[in-house]
Amino acid sequence: MEAHAGERDLIFLDESGFAPTVPTGYTWSRIGQRAVVPKEDTKNRRVNVLGAQVVGTLPDLLWQRTSGKIDAQMLLEFVCVRLAGLGGGAAVLDLAADGLGVDVMPVWERRRPCTVVLDNASAHVAKVFKGRRRQLAKIGVELFYLPPRSAELNDIELVWRQAKYQDYPQRAQTGTDALGQAVDQPMTRQRNRIRQSARNFTQAS
């Protein structure tokens, strides 16, 4: 309700991995012959994407990709810089939240408070990230954890599904650089749709 009223942003956060070869869902073969589909080794060739779908008066889609693992520290930096707008990132989180005392007003606060919805993945519940929950709340970023095994409650899952299976430009990539560029294309399309749908709704109203 607060999100629709413009008083708070609702942000759905999650990670997803993109392999250099999109899995084959089905194929054809001659009668009596078994279809054989070679499986490509994706070790150290995947691109992982950390994404956040913003719901509110200014809907948006933010993401950051890496060829490495998305750990709790990377997650914290993403939330501090991309979602909270804290220029110095996690390094100045304590100062921003507690510069005038632990229980007093923070030195810095997000323009509009937000609630970040996320699951219980290991990076999400690690002390490096979840242990900063109090400081994040003081600068306007509240963490809301979904119940276990309830991925369907996270709206960004639809973004991943469309990006991988509808908007992905081609089925195979030759390396991580090409894969990273290919990932940006469907994510950009998804972001443009989210922004455009908001503009259409505003014009209609």
Distance CA 53, CA 48 (A): 16
According to DSSP H, which parts of 44-155 are helical? 72-78, 93-98, 122-125, 127-130, 133-138
Measured at the CA of 118, the angle between CA 9 and CA 154, to 5 degrees, comes to 80
Pairwise pLDDT comparison (43 vs 134), residue with the higher score? 134
Residue 47 falls inside a structural domain:
yes
Structure tokens belonging to residue 13: 């956060």
Range of the domain at 97: 9-18+42-204
Residue 111 falls inside a structural domain:
yes
Residue 31 falls inside a structural domain:
no
Enumerate residues 6+ apart whose C-beta is below 8 A from 163: 16, 183, 186, 187, 189, 190
What pLDDT sits at residue 164?
87
Residue 24 falls inside a structural domain:
no
Compute how many other C-beta atoms are within 10 angstroms of the C-beta atom of residue 118. Answer: 24
pLDDT tens by residue, 73-98: 999 999 999 999 998 999 999 888 87
Residue 37 falls inside a structural domain:
no
What DSSP state is assigned to residue 88?
Answer: T
Query: Residue 7 above 70 pLDDT?
Result: yes
Query: Residue 50 above 80 pLDDT?
Result: yes
* pLDDT level of residue 35 (50, 70, 90 thresholds): confident
What pLDDT sits at residue 38?
64
What DSSP state is assigned to residue 89?
Answer: G
Q: What is the per-residue DSSP string for 93-118? A: HHHHHHTT-TTS--S---SS-EEEEE
Residue 68 falls inside a structural domain:
yes
Compute how many other C-beta atoms are within 10 angstroms of the C-beta atom of residue 47. Answer: 23
pLDDT tens by residue, 110-169: 989 999 999 999 999 999 999 999 999 999 999 999 999 898 899 999 999 999 888 877
Residue 120 falls inside a structural domain:
yes
Distance CA 164, CA 82 (A): 23
Compute how many other C-beta atoms are within 10 angstroms of the C-beta atom of residue 78. Answer: 23
Question: Structural domain tally of the chain?
Answer: 1
Residue 36 falls inside a structural domain:
no
Query: Residue 24 above 80 pLDDT?
Result: no
CATH number, domain of 70, equals 3.30.420.10
Nearest to residue 4, comparing CAs of 62, 59, 79?
59
Distance CA 82, CA 43 (A): 29
Compute how many other C-beta atoms are within 10 angstroms of the C-beta atom of residue 99. Answer: 13
What pLDDT sits at residue 11?
97
* pLDDT level of residue 52 (50, 70, 90 thresholds): very high
pLDDT tens by residue, 97-124: 875 554 566 778 898 999 999 999 999 9
Enumerate residues 6+ apart whose C-beta is below 8 A from 153: 117, 146, 147
Pairwise pLDDT comparison (109 vs 204), residue with the higher score? 109
Judge whether 20 and 45 are in contact, CB under 8 Å: yes
